[in-house]
Structure 1
């Protein structure tokens, strides 16, 4: 399980035009009353799960933080009229350390995390992404960590497969729109997608996509790959120019 996902994430750095100076990660596992940015120089670990084997509570991903990038993120968001706070204690949750340990196993690229804002307003998260768009020209890789299907009661059930496939197809159409305005409109109105609330009873794992799409500007998105696990598709999307 997840063998293709692991291989695809390991290959991702070679697709990038250049090595990122730092990474800004938006995980579905962190929300706060305001958008909140991590400022720790040495972020700790957040083992935000339970019932897993003992060794999973000893995983370490010792990537450094980037206080200067955190300050830049905070400035961009506040300058756009968005409320933003900072957290010096926040560590890497599994939505961050799992993909990054595959992409950069040496943990040598600085990482800053940005929370979701409670309430999950899709338009507001797109607006946050738009505010952060200048970072892409400053050598910062922006990663949204979530899932195209996240219904804990539906994983592994045969009846979940068509629901997950139909909603992923809607998201794929949305991110593939040539017009950024059309793309963003489809994402704001994601509940119009087939089976939307069955796929996401709570949209914490969907909203990171809104931030990344907002930061993409006029760049058209595309499906990088679609893996399958627990009878549902797990799609990864990318925006911007990738290496040949």
Structure 2
């Protein structure tokens, strides 16, 4: 699904956790290569999109109004949870980007509430991007890295993907948020997310969606696991 170009982007990245919600305020964010063991080329990628200090302050104001503690970070650069998807989606790097952290403890209801607080930004032309993954079990991925047709499909991922798709697209508002908050009890939940940081960006986006419907935008097998992407209100 092709989305219209937004005025600005908030990237909720699975690769940044803080004691409270933290937003990047740098006007010209640098790069944060938060990975290791890759070819040299992986450390030469540059995504020179501008930051948006005014939008960052707007985010902080909305969170404060909702009673959610938040902080600013003027130093953090774009991590790969931000620059990889945006390099593929908006390669011209002209749209301002504000990066936002998860909150340590990874409470799904808190992250839904964060999204709800940010919902007014959608009417201001801001895209709220949840950058994580619907399945994130590195042991399974490592086994599937050989590629080819002989990769064994991890059945719990299929069960969880079906549950997640139903929860994200067949319910709305508070009912959707509560369904997603119970992800660990879903079929294949913990097998798909031994640690849930890659699932939490979805909670923020779903919270911001309010009563708007969700739709499955992507669904495929990745290194033996079933994965999906979702879009709301498009």
Deviation at 1:193, TM superposition (A): 0.7
Deviations 1:41-73 (A, max 9, x none): 000101000000011011100000000000000
- Tell me the equivalent position of 1:40: 26
Question: SS of the residue aligned with 2:27?
Answer: coil
Distance 1:19 1:144 in 2: 16
- Tell me the equivalent position of 2:227: 234
Which of 65, 68, 90 matches 1:82? 68
Deviation at 1:179, TM superposition (A): 3.3
Gaps of 5+ in 1: 1-11
Kept in 2: contact 1:154–1:160 (CA 8 A) = no
Which consecutive aligned stretches of 4+ in structure 1 deviate over 3 angstroms post-superposition?
156-160
- Tell me the equivalent position of 1:51: 37
Deviation at 1:234, TM superposition (A): 2.3
**TM-score normalised over the length of structure 1:** 0.90
Distance 2:218 2:79 in 1: 23
RMSD of Structure 2 on Structure 1 (CA) = 1.2
Kept in 1: contact 2:13–2:132 (CA 8 A) = yes
Change (3 A) 1:190 1:178: closer
Distance 1:69 1:152 in 2: 34
5 Å-filtered alignment, 1:131-142, equals: 131-142=117-128
- Tell me the equivalent position of 1:191: 184
Question: SS of the residue aligned with 2:139?
Answer: coil
| Residues matched between the structures, number | 227
Which of 50, 58, 62 matches 1:64? 50
- Tell me the equivalent position of 1:8: none
**TM-score normalised over the length of structure 2:** 0.94
